[in-house]
Chain A
Amino acid sequence: MGEGSSAIATKIRSKFGKFLTLADYKILTQKGDINDAITFISSLPQYSEAFKGTAGMALRRGTAEEVFEKHFYSVYEELLNFSFTVKEGFISYYIKREEIRQIINAATYIGAGVSDLIAYNFPAFLVSDVRFDVNELMASADFRQFVSALENTDYYNILLPLADSVKFPEIPVIEKALIDHYYTWLLESIKNGYPDEEQPELEKCVRHAVDIHNLKLCYRLKGLLGLSAEETEKYIIELYGSFKKEDIVQLLSAGDSKEMLQQIVKLPWLNVEPETADKGFEYILGISDYKYYRSRLFMSENESIVLYSFMDLLRKEKGNLITVIEGIRYSVDPSQIENMLIIP
C-alpha cells in the first residue's frame, strides 16, 4: 500500500469518526417534530453543507432521503477525486449500482402506470452521467421498447432475453438479471483491474454482498411472502461466498420465518449473537453488515475496499437517521426508536 493509498484510507477513516454516536441519536430522538430533528442534523458539521439549501423548507422523508443521496454522492465523488487515479472499473460501482436501481424503479413505475415518477425521483447527480435515454425509457409503452431504450448499454444484452413478449416480466425477474449482472461485472472488474495479490480480498468483499443479498431473498420470499423453496431458489444469485448453496437449501427447508430466524443467527459468517433473534431480521442483517464493513474499513489495506465499506456504512447511518425521522413522525417512544437503530 503506497503513501497515497494510506492517505485516502486515513482520510476515510477519519470521516467515519464523525459518524453520529448513540448520544447524538439520544438527543435526536427527543426532538418534538421532524423540523427540529432536521435542524439538529443540519447543525452537525458533517451534514450542515448537505442541508444548506433546505432552510425554511418543511422537509418530508422523501426530500430528506434525496438530500442524503445527493450528499453521499458528493462524498463519494470527493473521495474518488482525492486520490484515485483510475476512476473506472470496480471503483465506479456507485454509478453502475445507481443506474441499475433506476432501471428497476423505471420498470416498477411503468408497470404501475406512473411513468412520470421516473423523472421526479431520478437522482440529480446521475442526470449527466447516466448512459441511457431517460425520456425514451419513460415513453416506453411495452417491455421491448423499454429494452430498446437501453440499447447502447450493457443492460440491453442482459434484458433482451427477457423480452420475448411485449409484456413486462415480473420485477423480481428483471431485478435478478440486473443484480446478477452487477455482481458479475464487479468480479470481472476486479480480475481485470487489480494485481493478483489484491484480488482475493476484493472478491471476498463482493461475494459477502452477494451472500447478504441472497439471505435477504431467502427470508423475504420464503419466510415472509411464502414462496416455495424451489421458487425462491430461482432468484438466488449464484456467486456464493460464505453462504453456500447447501446452506441456502438448508435454510429454505425451515418451516416458517421464526424457524428461519433461529437458523440465521447461527450462521457463523454473520457474526451475530443468538439473542439478537428477538430483534428481527432487518436488525440482525444490519448489525452483521455494519460489523463486517467496519472491520473492512479499519483492517483492509486496499483503498477501494476502504471506500466501498465506508459508503456502505454511510448508508447505514442514513438508515438510522430515517428511522429516527419516521419514529418522530409517528410519535414512537424514544427508547423504542433507539432499539431499532443499527449501532453495534
Chain B
Amino acid sequence: MAVEKMSLVTVSGPIRRANKALIRCCETGCFHIEPSLYAMTYGSAHFKTLKDKKNIYGNLIKRMSLLASGLGIPEKNVPYDDIQMEVIHDFDVYLSAIESDTASLIETKKEIEERIDKYEQAMRYVENLDLLDTDFRNLTDCKYVKVRFGRLPSDNYKKLRFFSDKGFVFVPLEENEGYVWGVYFTSYRDCSQNDEIFSNLYYERIYIPDYVSGNGQEAKNKLNEKIAAERKELDEVLGKLAAVRQREEEKFCKVRSKLRFLNDSYELRSKVAVVDNKFYMLGFVPTRELSSFKEKILGVQDVEISEQQYFLDDKMKPPTKLKNNRVFKPFEMFVTMYGLPSYTGIDPTSFVAITYMLLYGIMFGDLGQGLVISLLGFIFWKWKKLKLGLIMERIGISSAVFGYFYGSVFGNEELITPFYHIPQISEVLGHPKNIFEVSSYLLIAALMIGVVLIIITMVFNIILSFKRQDYASALFGANGFAGMLFYVSLIAGVACQMGLGIELMTTPYVVCLILLPLAVMLFKEPLSTAFSAKIKKSVLSFTENLVADNSVRAFEQRRDKSGAVNIDKLADMKYIRSVYGAIPKKALESISDISEKDIAFVPISEDGDKICGVYFASKKEKAAADDIFDSLGFERRKMPKELLEERKKVKKSEKGEKKSVGGFLIEGFIELFETCLSYLTNTMSFLRVGGFILSHAGMMLVVGALSGSDMSASYIIVQILGNAFVIGMEGFIVGIQVLRLEFYELFGRFYISDGKEFTPLKVNN
C-alpha cells in the first residue's frame, strides 16, 4: 500500500539552454512539471513564460502533412537519431526538394480522383435508372417534351393517381429505401404546373451529366469504361509517386517524427518561467529516480538543478504515483479507474488485488476454465498489450486454485475429489453428494467473508481518518469506531444467539454495544462540532464568511469591475484565510495561472496605481497564496471596519437558519435508519459470492446434460461451446460483480480519491 515518494526540483539555466533542457526533461520520462506560476514563486514577480511567440513549426508540419497524404505515407513515429536537421531552414530545404519532385504528380492525382468521384456520382444515379431502354440524350434533347429524372417518396408515389389528368407521365424504374426512382415526361406547356406538382410531392430531381448517353444499361457501361480509363491513368501517377515514396519514405518518417517532437516540445514552453534571461522549471521527480534524473539533466551545459523543500499541506499538491510489486501492479488499473489517492493517502492496490483474486476465485472456481482464462490473459497481454490481460492471468490462477478445491475441471466434478468429499469435511457437512447440498453452508460462508471485509474496511477508515485528523469520522461516523462497534456487536449477538444458541443479547449488551453506538452516530454532528472546535481552535484562525460577503458586495458596487481574480470560486471555496491589502495593478494582470488553485482575489477600491482588495485562500493553498501575493508586491493592510461591520447582523440571521431540535431529530433518525439499512444491504450483497458458486455449478450441469455422457463428436462440440460460453459470459459477469463489491461495498467505506496523477513530461503523445 505505497505511494511513490516525490522530490520537488527546480531546473534552471540560461535561456538559450531552455529548449535543450526541456527536451532532456522529456527524455528522462520521470519529470512531472508544475505550471510556471509555481516556478515564479521561487524567483521574481516580474516573470514571463518561454512561449511568447506563435508556433514556428506549424507551417512545416502542414507542408509535411500535404506531402504525406499525396505520397500515401502513413502516420508513424520512428527514431530519428541520425537526422541532423536542427533549424527551420534545414527542414525547409528538405521539403522543397521533395515538393519539386512531386508537386505536379500530386496535382494530377487530385484531378483524376475528382473526375472519378464525378463519374461515380453519375453512376449512382444511372444505376437507379438502368431499366430505361431509351437513350438519355434522346430524352434530354427533346424540344417539346420535358424530361425530369429523379426520385420521390414511395408514399407520395401512391398519390400520383390523383393527378392523372394533369398531362404528365411518370415511369417508375426502381424502388428502394423508401423512394421510387423514375422519370416523368411533360409537355412544354404544362411543364411549370407539373414541376410544381412534383415539387409539392417532394420529388428530388437529379441532373444527368452531358457525357451520359445511351440507354440505362449502355450509359452504365460507358461510365464504367470512363471510370476504368481514369483509374488506369491514376495507377500510372500512383506508380510514379510510389517510386518517390520508396526512395524517401524512411527519411521522411524520421524527419516528420523529429519535426513533430520539436513542435510538441515547443508547445511545452508555456510551462517554463523566464526571469532575467534565466529559465526556471519546477516539478516533481520520484525520489528513487532523482540521481539518474540529475545525471541526465546536468549533461546540458550551464543547467543547474536544486532540490526544494515543500510542505505537504500547504504548497502545491504533489502528484501520486502508485508503487506496487509485480503481482499486484496490474490491479492499479482498477484503483486508477475509481480515482487516485492523494499523495499522503493510502494506496489500496494490494488490498484490491488480494480481495479481487480471492473473490473471483471463490465465485468462479474451475481448474480448467481458470487456466484457460489465465492463458487468454497471457495472449491478450503479449499480443495486444491489454492491461486487463495481466489481471486475467492472475484471476485465472486464483480460479484454478479454487477449482481444484471444488474438484471442478471444465465442470467435470469426478476427476478431482472436491473438498466436501474429504472424509472429515464430508462428515461435518452431512455427507453431501454434490455442491448443491452444501448451498446453505456456502451462503453463510459468503456472508462471513462479507462481514470480515466490511470490518477490515472500517478499520482502514478509522486509521485513515485519524491520519487526516478527521476525528469525527474516525470516532462517530458510520464507518468509524461507533459504527464498527455497532456492526460487530450486532453481528456477534445475532450469530451467537441463532447459530450457537448463546444468549448474548442481554440488556446491558444491547444498551452499551448497540444502542449507545447508535446514539453516538445520531448525534454525530453536534459531537463532531464540539470536538473539532476544541481541536482546531488552537491550530487555525477562521475567517468569517462576512468578509467574503462584504467584499463581494463592495466589488459589485464598484463601477470598474476589472481586476477580479476567480471571484466565482468564492461560492464553492472553503476559504479559511482572508487578507486585505494593496497590489500593483500590473502585477495583478500577470497571474492568470492562478485559476488552477483555490485562491480568489476581490478588488474593492483603487489607491493610485494599486488596487486594494482581499485575497481568499483555502487551507491547503494558504501558504501558496501568501507566497504568490508576496512575490507580486502585495502590501498587507489592516482589514477595514466596513468589511467586518455587519458581523452581528449576519450571525443573527445565521442563527435563525439553524435547525430546530425536532427537525434535527427527524433528519437524524432518517439518516440513522438509512445507515442501518446500508449495513444490512451491504452485508447481504456478499450473498452473491455464494450464489455464483452455485450458478457456475448449475450452468456446467446444463452443459453436461446437453452434451450427454457418450464420448462422440457432438459431446466434444457441446462441451467446447458450453465451456466457451460459460467462460465468456459468467467469467465476465463475475469480474464485474467483484469489481462492484470492491467499489461499492468496500471502497465507499474508507477510500478518498483526491489525488492528482503523476504525468511525466513528454512529447509525441
* A205 on interface, CB distance cutoff 8 Å: no
Q: Which of B156, B159, B162 has the most CB of A within 10 A?
A: B162
Knowing A52-B178, A53-B178, the reply to whether A119 touches B163 (Cβ < 8 A) is: yes
Task: Name A118's closest neighbour in chain B (CB-CB).
Answer: B162
Distance between B122 CB and nearest chain A CB, rounded to angstroms = 21
* B153 on interface, CB distance cutoff 8 Å: yes
* B114 on interface, CB distance cutoff 8 Å: no
* B165 on interface, CB distance cutoff 8 Å: yes
Distance between B161 CB and nearest chain A CB, rounded to angstroms = 7
Question: What is the CA–CA distance of A128 and B156 in the complex, to the nearest angstrom?
Answer: 12
Q: Mark B135-167, 1 if CB is under 8 A from A, else 0.
A: 000000000000000000101101101111100
* A16 on interface, CB distance cutoff 8 Å: no
Task: Name B163's closest neighbour in chain A (CB-CB).
Answer: A119
Question: What is the CA–CA distance of A263 and B421 in the complex, to the nearest angstrom?
Answer: 82
Contact between chains at B159 and A127 (CB < 8 Å): yes
Q: Mark A163-185, 1 if CB is under 8 A from B, else 0.
A: 00000000000000000000000
Distance between A113 CB and nearest chain B CB, rounded to angstroms = 16
Contact between chains at A119 and B158 (CB < 8 Å): no
Knowing A53-B153, A120-B200, A120-B201, the reply to whether A135 touches B158 (Cβ < 8 A) is: no
Contact between chains at A70 and B155 (CB < 8 Å): yes
Question: What is the CA–CA distance of A127 and B161 in the complex, to the nearest angstrom?
Answer: 9
Contact between chains at B165 and A127 (CB < 8 Å): no
Q: Mark A51-62, 1 if CB is under 8 A from B, else 0.
A: 011000000000
Contact between chains at A122 and B153 (CB < 8 Å): no
Contact between chains at A135 and B162 (CB < 8 Å): yes
Inter-chain contacts of A118 with B (CB < 8 A): 162
Distance between B231 CB and nearest chain A CB, rounded to angstroms = 30
Question: What is the CA–CA distance of A116 and B198 in the complex, to the nearest angstrom?
Answer: 12
Knowing A52-B178, A53-B153, A120-B201, the reply to whether A127 touches B163 (Cβ < 8 A) is: no
Contact between chains at B178 and A119 (CB < 8 Å): no
Contact between chains at B200 and A135 (CB < 8 Å): no
Among B153, B155, B159, B177, point to the contact of A119 (Cβ < 8 A).
B159
Distance between A150 CB and nearest chain B CB, rounded to angstroms = 16
Question: What is the CA–CA distance of A288 and B170 in the complex, to the nearest angstrom?
Answer: 49
Secondary structure of the A side of the interface? helix
Please tell me the number of chain A residues within 8 Å of chain B, measured between CB atoms: 16
Among B156, B163, B200, point to the contact of A124 (Cβ < 8 A).
B156
Task: Name A138's closest neighbour in chain B (CB-CB).
Answer: B162
* A134 on interface, CB distance cutoff 8 Å: yes
Distance between A55 CB and nearest chain B CB, rounded to angstroms = 10
Distance between A42 CB and nearest chain B CB, rounded to angstroms = 14
Contact between chains at B162 and A128 (CB < 8 Å): no
Inter-chain contacts of A70 with B (CB < 8 A): 155
Contact between chains at A135 and B159 (CB < 8 Å): no
Inter-chain contacts of B165 with A (CB < 8 A): 135, 139
Inter-chain contacts of A134 with B (CB < 8 A): 161-162
Inter-chain contacts of A125 with B (CB < 8 A): 155
Question: What is the CA–CA distance of A334 and B177 in the complex, to the nearest angstrom?
Answer: 36
Distance between A301 CB and nearest chain B CB, rounded to angstroms = 37
Distance between A48 CB and nearest chain B CB, rounded to angstroms = 14
Contact between chains at B178 and A124 (CB < 8 Å): no
Distance between A222 CB and nearest chain B CB, rounded to angstroms = 38
Inter-chain contacts of B162 with A (CB < 8 A): 118-119, 122, 134-135, 138
Question: What is the CA–CA distance of A119 and B159 in the complex, to the nearest angstrom?
Answer: 7
Q: Mark A182-202, 1 if CB is under 8 A from B, else 0.
A: 000000000000000000000
Contact between chains at A120 and B178 (CB < 8 Å): no
Task: Name B155's closest neighbour in chain A (CB-CB).
Answer: A124
Among A53, A120, A139, point to the contact of B159 (Cβ < 8 A).
A120
Q: List residues 86-140 of chain A with CB under 8 A from any CB of chain B.
A: 116, 118-120, 122, 124-125, 127-128, 134-135, 138-139
Inter-chain contacts of A139 with B (CB < 8 A): 165
Question: What is the CA–CA distance of A251 and B162 in the complex, to the nearest angstrom?
Answer: 44
Distance between B587 CB and nearest chain A CB, rounded to angstroms = 42
Distance between A56 CB and nearest chain B CB, rounded to angstroms = 11
Question: What is the CA–CA distance of A70 and B159 in the complex, to the nearest angstrom?
Answer: 14
Contact between chains at A124 and B159 (CB < 8 Å): yes
Question: What is the CA–CA distance of A125 and B155 in the complex, to the nearest angstrom?
Answer: 8
Contact between chains at B153 and A135 (CB < 8 Å): no
Contact between chains at A135 and B164 (CB < 8 Å): yes
Q: List residues 169-213 of chain B with CB under 8 A from any CB of chain A.
A: 177-178, 197, 200-201
Question: What is the CA–CA distance of A98 and B259 in the complex, to the nearest angstrom?
Answer: 71
Contact between chains at B158 and A127 (CB < 8 Å): yes
Among A53, A124, A138, point to the contact of B158 (Cβ < 8 A).
A124
Distance between A117 CB and nearest chain B CB, rounded to angstroms = 9
Question: What is the CA–CA distance of A127 and B178 in the complex, to the nearest angstrom?
Answer: 17
Inter-chain contacts of A128 with B (CB < 8 A): 158
Distance between B164 CB and nearest chain A CB, rounded to angstroms = 6
Inter-chain contacts of B178 with A (CB < 8 A): 52-53
Inter-chain contacts of B164 with A (CB < 8 A): 135
Question: What is the CA–CA distance of A12 and B364 in the complex, to the nearest angstrom?
Answer: 42
Distance between A147 CB and nearest chain B CB, rounded to angstroms = 19
Task: Name B197's closest neighbour in chain A (CB-CB).
Answer: A116
Task: Name A124's closest neighbour in chain B (CB-CB).
Answer: B155
Distance between B444 CB and nearest chain A CB, rounded to angstroms = 40
Question: What is the CA–CA distance of A118 and B155 in the complex, to the nearest angstrom?
Answer: 15
Q: Mark A135-167, 1 if CB is under 8 A from B, else 0.
A: 100110000000000000000000000000000
Distance between A203 CB and nearest chain B CB, rounded to angstroms = 36
Question: What is the CA–CA distance of A139 and B197 in the complex, to the nearest angstrom?
Answer: 16
Question: What is the CA–CA distance of A68 and B539 in the complex, to the nearest angstrom?
Answer: 69
Distance between B170 CB and nearest chain A CB, rounded to angstroms = 14
Q: Which of A119, A122, A135 has the most CB of B within 10 A?
A: A119
Inter-chain contacts of B155 with A (CB < 8 A): 70, 124-125
Question: What is the CA–CA distance of A128 and B154 in the complex, to the nearest angstrom?
Answer: 13
Contact between chains at A122 and B159 (CB < 8 Å): yes
Inter-chain contacts of B200 with A (CB < 8 A): 116, 120
Question: What is the CA–CA distance of A118 and B200 in the complex, to the nearest angstrom?
Answer: 12
Inter-chain contacts of A127 with B (CB < 8 A): 158-159, 161
11 interchain pairs, CB-CB under 8 A:
A53-B178, A116-B200, A119-B159, A122-B159, A124-B156, A127-B161, A134-B161, A134-B162, A135-B161, A138-B162, A139-B165
- New A-B pairs, 19, CB < 8 Å, besides A52-B178, A119-B163, A135-B161: A53-B153, A53-B178, A116-B200, A118-B162, A119-B159, A119-B162, A120-B159, A122-B159, A122-B162, A124-B156, A124-B158, A124-B159, A127-B158, A127-B159, A127-B161, A128-B158, A134-B161, A135-B164, A135-B165
Chain B residues engaging chain A, CB cutoff 8 angstroms: 153, 155-156, 158-159, 161-165, 177-178, 197, 200-201
The 8 closest A-B pairs by CB, nearest first: A124-B155, A119-B162, A53-B178, A127-B158, A134-B162, A124-B158, A120-B200, A119-B159
